[in-house]
Copies of this chain bind each other. A is one copy, B any other.
Amino acid sequence: MEIKNAVTALAALAQESRLAIFRLLVQNAPEGLTAGLIAEQLALPAPTLSFHLKTLAQAGLVNTVQEGRFVRYRAEIEGINALIGFLTDDCCGGHPELCTPNLKK
């Protein structure tokens, strides 16, 4: 992962509504939720939700599939794993056992 991709992903998550959307989709993995259900759960107006979902999708954190009139969104597990890896890579100059407490990865 390049630093610019990581910044894009972090910026996508650094907003309260989008973070709530992402966590809702993580908790509802792997089947995901339609846009309408997300809007209902989080009480967001449709245009606002659509804007945030687009931001998350462009950041590689959610994926989307059309289901008739509905659009289903899912958390992109590989995207969040790559981001976490980027944050924790090369911890302690390659000697992660030096970290107290140990870093998650």
Contacts and interface: CB of A to CB of B under 8 A. Distances in A.
Contact of A104 (B13, B84, B92): B84
A22 B86 CA distance: 11
Interface string A1-31: 0011011001101111001101100111110
B10 A14 contact: yes
B3 A7 contact: no
Contacts of A30: 92, 98-100
Given A3-B20, A6-B19, A14-B14, 11 more contacts: A3-B16, A3-B19, A7-B14, A7-B15, A7-B16, A10-B10, A10-B11, A26-B87, A26-B92, A77-B100, A78-B101
